[in-house]
Structures are given as structure tokens and as C-alpha cells.
Amino acid sequence: MLRRQLEYHWREYLFVGLLIAVQAALTFGALALADYGQHALTTSVRKSTPSADFLVYADHKPAADIAADIAASPDVVNVHVDAWLAAEALSPGGKAPVTLRKLAPLPFQTQSLTSGAYPSSDDQIALSKDVARRLGADVDSTITVASGKVAKRYVVSGIYARSPFETGINPGGEGLVVEPSADYVAAPRDHLGYGGIEVRATSAASADKVLTDLLKSGTGTVIRGDDRAQIVRERHAHALDSLLTPMRWLVLSGAAITALLLFIGFVALHQRRITQLRYMRSLGVARTRQARMALGELGTVTALSASTGLVFGIVACYAVVAIVRVTGWAMFMPAHLRVSLGTYALTLGIVVASVAGAALLAAVFVRPHHNTELSSDAPRRRSRALLPLLIIAGAYAIYRAAIPSYEPAPALPIQARSIGIIALLIAAVFALVITLVALIMRRLGLGARTHLFPRTRGGLIRALALVVILVGTSTFTAILTVTYSIASQGVTVPPLSRPGTAAFIVQAAVCVVLGFVVLGHAPRAFRLYDAHSRYLLALGTTRRQRALRRLLSATVSAATMIVAGCFAGVASAWTILWQLPGTQGQLHVPLLHITAVATTSLIICVTYGATVTVAGVVKATNGANSTILRH
């Protein structure tokens, strides 16, 4: 029975199945890569910690003199003064802040050379990959390094990779030279671990003797190798957490977006099968049996789609790991992807929760009210409550996505106030745009008017789609504005180099496109047409004319909402910047980037809508021709 049901109705589940598969793939990919990041943390700590028994800090005399005294001990085999100097590197391709470090001997090196060689003379320098990329420099290039009033020209001898966690902690980059500072004092002032005197004893037994001698001499602060590794682990764990925090929010927000789209898909599925449900009801089939049949179909589709999504997620994760392994970060990364059973269970749990939540919401939405017909088009008040709930959720999403993860979280009252202001702003912009779109629709004679308080289920779905477009546009606009406003305060890090920032922007743009898809398909999918659409049908308009009107209506609505969303995003960013220290609400709006993302989203929307419209018209024409030939 279940097999026959799916053989007959499988086309109606394509949208739902695709959503479940995509969510399973993305959720598994995010969780599996988070597991890989935890394993990479251990490898990175081991490779980023110099193989020294002790790290000595001293500020009472030059570090070179203290290192010479330590090296005089017969129990010491290696001594290295980790001298460093803050500077700025300049080249024809750009400029970048750089920390000059003294080239360490082989036992103390924590870098992975990717091209060229380490410096061997005073006029040579090896650059980290991030600095070389920003300067547009390569091996044998010439750069200028300025520190204070002194500038010196260097020839790039090589390019090396650091641990990606170190890059996250100190994104300014570094360079290795033979001697960065002659009068260096090894003071414990740098939280990144630069500086100090690395000491390596001849054996484990001699290490205890060296430690005793250092403590007796009062050289300075002595840190054991094990304690040093723990400090590095905590530092790298903080950098990893700044990467995983956006990942967690991406998983949760992705689940919420999928649940919303699944809800729309379930309602559309119900509308398309109203005739069948009435027929089964007339045959005396109980609602409980209908519910069991529907649950059987949904469970099978969920299982098959989730399994397919997991397969794609596994393949994608292995591809990502393979790409990472061929980069300069290979020595800091695990060789294989290891995924725990908990990751699979959590992925399936999130997918099932999204499907169950959407199904329950759809069941409440389409359930007949008292004695009204099952096909009743009037939404109830609890259904209309979806709009304000979605606006509040969108305001929270904008706030969480735009506020920098490395900034300390403000107090809860401040967060609640900011989210409330953003929600009111979105509601006001939405009301204004709905009024404006209604005027445009009336002028152009396009119909499909969306009311501020939806009167039909189709109108409610269109309103939800427009809110999704508005929130998506506001989100990526707020992210870009906040990021570039902070960067304009003197931070020279490329804002879009942070994976979480780019991921949130992509997700917001995808929401805009998905909102347009729902907006364009709502009239046909729900078989609900307004008075103007029925008037066009009565006039005998062709399928092509109705399809073009529907595409134009969706495009006008989406374009207006995207433009309004850009203004709402800038205003939301200004609200967020006021609560960040050191910004005082100073805005730096990256018009080029915002325009690029918004235009790309709109182009994808129009391309998709035009493709679907042309395909539908061609299909209808071919069907009509076939009918004529048969007769």
C-alpha cells in the first residue's frame, strides 16, 4: 500500500525530499568538520609548540646575555632567543602589519616551508602565507619593512605556513629574519607567546638540573614545556571556538529555515491533494488512518532523503579534508577524517526535529475549523501569528549574525533592547514596503496583492516569503556594514577572510533566493488565486501571459523588498555598533559589496523565475500540440 502511494505521489515530495537531503548534508558537514577541527587542535598544538624543555622570561638585562649564560651550562644543548619586532611591510601590491621573529634552529621551528628557503643573510626574509598573499609577494620579491622611523628592504627568500589557529589568533602575519632586534629584552609581555628564551637540555635527567640552576640564579620567570603546551592549547582552543561559534549558529538557523520551508511544502502538498482527501473521506476512511498513511509516506521520504544527504555530506567532508591536506597546512592537520557516532545521531536528530516541527505546524495550519470545508482559504489567527514570530526570529538572527564573535557578549538587557529595536525596524519597513508594493501592483495591473494582515492562505505564504527576503537582505547588509565599520577603525584584517562571516553572508543570500522561489510558486503550488487572477482567467488570457505576469509580480515584490532590506540592514548595523566599545555608532557602509550580493541574489532569482516560466510555457505548448495531434 505504501509503495503504491509513493509511486503515485512521488513527484509531490520532490521539494520536501530535496530540502531534507540538503539539510542533512549541510548539518552533517558542519558537525563532522567541527569534529575534525577538534582533532586538528591536538595536532596543531603538538606541531606549534617548540620542543624546548623551558621558556625563560627575563627583563633585567638583554636576552642575548642571559642566553649566553644559560648556554655555558654543559647540560644545555640548544638555546634560542625568540626576538621579535612589530613592524609594517610594504610592497607595490599593498601593505600589511607584520611581526618580525628571529629564525629559530631546526629543533625549535614551528613553521612549514611551502616554497623557497629560510633566510640566510641579513637582507633576506621569509614571509607567512597570509602576509605574502596580502602583499602580492613571491619568492625573490623585494619588500620594505618599516618599524618606527627605520625602514629596511628585504628580499623574500621563502614562504611558509603557520598553524591556521595561530593565523586566527594573530591575523596580522609574521616574517622570519636572521636578527630582528639587537637590544631585545625577553619580557613576558606578549599574549601570543612571542619572545622569551627557548632552552633545551641534553636529557630528561639534565633538565631537572638545568631547572634548579635557573631558579637558583634568579634569571627570571621559567615555564616548563608541559605548561607551555597547555598555554598553547588554551590559545588555540579559543581560536577554534571563534570558528565553531558561527558554525553552531549556522546549523541552528539552517534547521529553522528548513523547518519554515518544509512547512510551506507541507501546506502546498495538502492543497494539491484536497480532492483525494475529500474522496477518501466520502468513502468513510477515518482521519486517523489518513494520518497514519501520511506519516508512513513522510517517514519513508525522510529516511531516504536523509540517507542521501548523509552520503553527499560524507563525500563533501572527505573532499574538504583532501583539499586541506594539499595546502601548506598539512603538517598541522590530521591525515584522516574521523566522525563519531554521536555526529550521525545528532544530524539525524536535527533533521527529524525540523521535519516534525514543520509537520505539526502544517497540521495546525490546514486543520479544518469547526464545520468549515477542508479547502477553506481563510487563515486563522494562530496562523497569522507566524508573521510577528518570524519577524522577531529574524531580528534575533540579524543580531547574532552581525555582532562579532570575538567581542564580549553585552548584558542581556542590552541584547534584548537591540533585538527589540531591530524587530520594530523590520516590522515598520515591512509595512511600508507592503503598502508600496500594493500601489505598484495596482498601477501595473499585476494582481497578487499581499495584504499587511493576510486574508488568505496564499496571501499568508506570500507574506512569509517576503519577510524571509527582507530578513535575508537585512542580514547580509548588517554583517557587511558591521564588519567593515570595525575594520575602518584601524583593523587591517580583510573582513571577509573570516569563515563565519562569509558563511553567514552566503546563507542570507540563499534565504533571499529561497524566498523568491516560494513567492513565485505560491499561486500555483497552493492553487489559490486572488480576484485579479480569476479575472484574467475569465478574460481568456493564455498560460504564457499568466506566467509572465506571475514572474513580473514576484520580481517587483522581491526587488522592492531587497532594496528596503538594504536600508533596514544598515539601520540594524548602526544599532549594533552603538553597543560595541570603540565604535560609537560610526558607520562604514560597503556599498560595492552590498550591491554585489543583492544584485547577484536578484539575478539568480530572475534567472530561476524566467527558466521555470519558459519551461512551463513550453510544457503547456507541447501538451496542447500533442492533444491536437491525437484528435
Give me the helices (H) in 403-498, please: 412-444, 457-487
Mean pLDDT of the chain: 76
The model's pLDDT over 520-561, given as tens digits with 9 standing for 90+, comes to: 655 555 444 444 455 555 555 666 666 667 677 777 778 888
The model's pLDDT over 351-401, given as tens digits with 9 standing for 90+, comes to: 999 999 888 887 776 654 433 333 344 455 556 677 788 888 888 888 877
Top pLDDT among 461 and 360 is at 360
Q: Which three cell numbers stand for residue 41?
A: 587542535
Interaxial angle between packed helices 287-325 and 2-9, expressed in degrees from 0 to 180 and rounded to the nearest 10: 70
Going by the DSSP 8-state scheme, the letter that residue 377 receives in this structure is -
> What is the per-residue pLDDT for 528?
46
Strand 174-177 vs strand 94-102: parallel, antiparallel, or unpaired?
parallel
> What is the per-residue pLDDT for 344?
92
* Range scoring the smallest mean pLDDT among 56-65, 105-114, 439-448, 493-502: 493-502
pLDDT mean over 620-630? 45
The model's pLDDT over 308-341, given as tens digits with 9 standing for 90+, comes to: 999 999 998 888 888 887 776 777 888 888 888 8
- Residues linked to residue 112 through DSSP beta bridges, in sequence order: 161
C-alpha 546: how far from its chain's center? 38
Top pLDDT among 565 and 487 is at 565
- Indicate if the pLDDT at residue 11 is higher than 70: no
Strand 221-224 vs strand 197-201: parallel, antiparallel, or unpaired?
unpaired
Contact between 418 and 478 (Cβ < 8 Å): no
- Indicate if the pLDDT at residue 2 is higher than 70: no
Measured at the alpha carbon of residue 337, what is the angle toward residues 333 and 343, in degrees to the nearest 5? 125
Q: Model-level pTM?
A: 0.66
- Residues linked to residue 160 through DSSP beta bridges, in sequence order: 113, 128
Interaxial angle between packed helices 386-402 and 225-272, expressed in degrees from 0 to 180 and rounded to the nearest 10: 160
**Greatest Cα pair distance in the chain:** 107
Going by the DSSP 8-state scheme, the letter that residue 489 receives in this structure is T
Direct distance between the N- and C-terminal alpha carbons of the chain, in angstroms, rounded to an integer = 36
CA distance to 225, 339, 365, 377, 423, per residue, from 454 (Å) = 67, 46, 14, 11, 19
Among the ranges 114-123, 165-174, 495-504, 508-517, which has the highest mean pLDDT value? 114-123
CA distance to 393, 402, 453, 471, 476, per residue, from 561 (Å) = 18, 20, 17, 9, 14
3-state secondary structure of 379: coil
Element containing residue 84 per DSSP (H, E): strand 84-91
Contact between 253 and 245 (Cβ < 8 Å): no
Q: How far apart are CA 99 and CA 315, in angstroms?
A: 39
pLDDT mean over 607-630? 52
Confidence of residue 184 (pLDDT cuts 50, 70, 90): confident
Q: How far apart are CA 431 and CA 421, in angstroms?
A: 15
- Indicate if the pLDDT at residue 46 is higher than 60: yes
Following DSSP, what letter does each residue of 280-336 receive, concatenated? HHHTT--HHHHHHHHHHHHHHHHHHHHHHHHHHHHHHHHHHHHHHHTSTTGGGS-SS
Calculate Rg over the CA atoms of the chain: 31
> What is the per-residue pLDDT for 609?
61
The model's pLDDT over 396-417, given as tens digits with 9 standing for 90+, comes to: 888 877 776 655 667 778 788 8
Rounded to the nearest 5°, which phi and psi values hold at 283? -80, -5
Top pLDDT among 525 and 466 is at 466
> What is the per-residue pLDDT for 603?
76
Q: Which residue in 172, 133, 190 sits closest to 156, CA to CA?
A: 133
Q: How far apart are CA 403 and CA 579, in angstroms?
A: 10
Contact between 472 and 508 (Cβ < 8 Å): yes
SS3 string of 179-227? CCCCCCCCCCCCCCCCCCEEEEECCHHHHHHHHHHHHHHCCCEEEEHHH
> What is the per-residue pLDDT for 493?
45
> What is the per-residue pLDDT for 608?
60
> What is the per-residue pLDDT for 497?
45
* Range scoring the smallest mean pLDDT among 190-204, 246-260, 290-304, 359-373: 359-373
